[in-house]
Amino acid sequence: MERANKSKSYEVLTDHILKLKEQHDIHLFWEHQYISRYVHQYHLGEVDRLLDSLEQILDKYLTVSGTSMSSQDILHVTYALIYAWHRAYVDVAFRDFRFEKELPVLDTIIQKLTPDERSTIERLHELSYEFGFLILELCLPLGNMKEVVYFLSDRNYEKSFQLQIPKFSFLRKEDSLEGVQISYEPTSPPVDNDYDLIIYYSPNVNLHQIRTALKEIWMFQDEQVIGNRQDAFLAFYVQRQVVKSRKHLLDIVELQIEHYFMYASKELLALFGTPDMEDSPFKKEVKDHKKALAVAIDRFRVLDKSINKRWDPHKENIRRAIGLLLWDQKVIVGTKKTTTSLVEELLDQLPNSIFEAYHENFNTKYDIETGTMFRDQASVRDTVIREALRDFNLTDRCITDTTLYYHRTGHRAEDSVL
């Protein structure tokens, strides 16, 4: 994997990380879209009933008299309560840096809840923990996927249109792991001292280094330490006899670092400064800033495991949107038309440029003298239809399994899980 070059200009590095962050965000967007559709099918009624009780809880404990919460405030506060519940009663390896300082207040509210109120928060937590996103955010209106297709194919489309990137991702139960304690204050070890491995993480540490070090020391019986406590802002205290799986531990470490980096890192906020720093008299500040940018780029590359498995992101995103557009028509709208006929309609309705994601020569002239285009050939249209049907099937599988799957690159283009 090519490493980021720290000698590159500030502007180049910033542009690079913005593009990588965009890929990361859209990865989250697709995962959320698939899981949302599953939730809308099987849990929407239940969540609607829970909302009645939730509104009473918010009014009773968190709403200032004479005021009302915005929809975003409701999502924020609900997530905070769910996180506080998780920390109080589950507390497997996961920390959300955004809400740690609010825990004393949130814990006080949770202790005041009546049994019925507690059951509401507990169930909202269970659903969020099951699917890896705040359940209320998963129940928001799905939106028009045709608009997403237009937006992805032409970024000048409706300047006001934006992809709805989820703001409240949560630890997913299937990814949780006992035997790991996480601390934001590495100089203050946890009360439970049964750990036999400590991983100190600092911004200058590459995740590949942690992988390598773990492989080397994993089987040693005595207490092991990776990293430097003085430089660390995050520490993992591990009971190896409980964890057992080195790979699972690495997944948790990467998840936690990613969550911190995406939502709470002052470093990340600093990365989006102004290019004027290039001319700053504080040369060390500029040097450190560029180094942080380069490290951040490497971190995005490692955290996004799919980056070497995907097709071209533009092609992949359009095909995902087409797959969801077809699925919505078949399942949500409930059309009686065949999926093939729906694809044929899209071929007639959507701009021809979109279908280059299915056949790169779709809009190329096949015969210069007659002006015949490749898209006019029956074989090319058949290819588009066949591939779009594969996208529909992949979409259905992603929704049914609430998992983000990918087509493998290559001739057979089989499905593969990320």
Instruction: Please tell me the distance from the alpha carbon of residue 156 to that of residue 348, in angstroms, as a whole number.
Output: 22
317 with 241, same domain: the answer is no
Q: Is 232 inside any structural domain? A: yes
- Flag whether pLDDT at 65 surpasses 90: no
Q: Give the CA distances from residue 299 to residues 1, 11, 204, in Å, rounded to whole numbers and listed in that order.
A: 12, 18, 10
What is the arithmetic mean of pLDDT over 300-319? 67
Q: Is 387 inside any structural domain? A: yes
Q: Give the CA distances from residue 267 to residues 139, 185, 274, 303, in Å, rounded to whole numbers and listed in that order.
A: 32, 17, 14, 17
Please identify, among 210, 228, 257, the residue that sits at the C-terminal boundary of a domain.
Answer: 257
Residue 278's pLDDT band (boundaries 50, 70, 90)? very low
Secondary structure (3-state) at 52 = helix
- Flag whether pLDDT at 19 surpasses 70: yes
Please identify, among 257, 273, 291, the residue that sits at the C-terminal boundary of a domain.
Answer: 257
Instruction: Please tell me the distance from the alpha carbon of residue 347 to that of residue 355, in angstroms, as a whole number.
Output: 8
407 with 321, same domain: the answer is yes
321 with 399, same domain: the answer is yes
Please identify, among 239, 257, 275, the residue that sits at the C-terminal boundary of a domain.
Answer: 257
Provide the CB-side half-sphere exposure for 252 (13 A, CA).
26
> Phi-psi category of 168—alpha, beta or left, where left has phi over 0 and alpha has psi -120 to 50?
beta
Could you tell me the residue range of the domain that residue 333 belongs to?
A: 313-417
Q: What is the DSSP string of 190-217?
A: -S-----EEEEE-TT--HHHHHHHHHHH
Per-residue pLDDT tens digits for 330-340: 999 999 999 99
Which of 84-98, 206-220, 261-275, 287-301 bottoms out in mean pLDDT, i.e. has the lowest? 261-275
Dihedral (CA of 326, 331, 336, 339) sign: positive
Which of 43-52, 100-109, 292-301 bottoms out in mean pLDDT, i.e. has the lowest? 292-301
Q: Which amino acid is at 259?
A: H
Q: Are strands 365-367 and 234-238 parallel, antiparallel or unpaired?
A: unpaired
What is the arithmetic mean of pLDDT over 208-228? 89
Q: Is 209 inside any structural domain? A: yes
236 with 318, same domain: the answer is no
Instruction: Please tell me the distance from the alpha carbon of residue 157 to that of residue 65, in angstroms, as a whole number.
Output: 43
318 with 395, same domain: the answer is yes
317 with 401, same domain: the answer is yes
* Number of independent structural domains in the chain: 2
Q: Is 56 inside any structural domain? A: no
Residue 194's pLDDT band (boundaries 50, 70, 90)? confident
- Which of 67-71, 134-138, 188-192, 233-237 has maximum average pLDDT? 134-138
Q: Is 383 inside any structural domain? A: yes
What mean pLDDT, rounded, does the chain reach?
Answer: 81
408 with 324, same domain: the answer is yes
Check: CB of residue 139 under 8 Å from CB of residue 75: no
Check: CB of residue 43 under 8 Å from CB of residue 126: no
Q: Is 135 inside any structural domain? A: no
Residue 156's pLDDT band (boundaries 50, 70, 90)? low
Q: What is the DSSP string of 99-125?
A: TGGGHHHHHHHHHH--HHHHHHHHHHH
Check: CB of residue 231 under 8 Å from CB of residue 159: no
Q: Is 217 inside any structural domain? A: yes
- Flag whether pLDDT at 295 surpasses 70: no
Instruction: Please tell me the distance from the alpha carbon of residue 283 to that of residue 277, in angstroms, as a whole number.
Output: 9
Q: Is 385 inside any structural domain? A: yes
